[in-house]
Amino acid sequence: MAKRKSQSMTNLAHEARRISTATTKMVENDHLPLLWVDSASFQHRSDVPITMIRFFSLVNDKSIEMARIQTSHQHLRALVDTLARVTGHYPTRPDTSTSSAKP
């Protein structure tokens, strides 16, 4: 049976190649499971520019951790840029100024 990739998966794979800084060929691992995730949490380190991302799925009213990855802030920014481009969603920064406080 021939495998068919959806257009969005092909676009994401293309974007992943674009943001990769590796000079080696990317190899797809067909043995990895496809996981559905409902939420993610991000933990940033202050001593080094590294972020851990944990992905969760809602199962029977519980949040079950499905995967955990760690990446540099540089790669995380490229990933966020790619996600924004693919989804067409460009969030704005929250206003953190103190001048917007209510009188």
Average pLDDT value for the chain: 80
For 80, the domain range is 35-87
Report residue 96's pLDDT band, with 50, 70 and 90 as the boundaries.
confident
Cα–Cα dist 30/87, whole Å:
25
Higher pLDDT, 10 or 38: 38
**With left for phi above 0 and alpha for psi between -120 and 50, is residue 25 left, alpha or beta?**
beta
Look at residue 99 and tell me if it is in a domain: no
Count of domains observed in the chain: 1
* 75 occurs within a structural domain: yes
Is residue 98 included in any domain, yes or no? no
Q: Does residue 12 form part of some domain?
A: no
Q: Check residues 17 and 74 and name the one with the higher pLDDT.
A: 74
Please indicate whether residue 100 or residue 66 has the higher confidence score (pLDDT): 66
Helices (H), 7-101: 7-19, 73-87
Give the model confidence (pLDDT) of 52-69 as tens digits.
Answer: 999 999 999 999 999 999
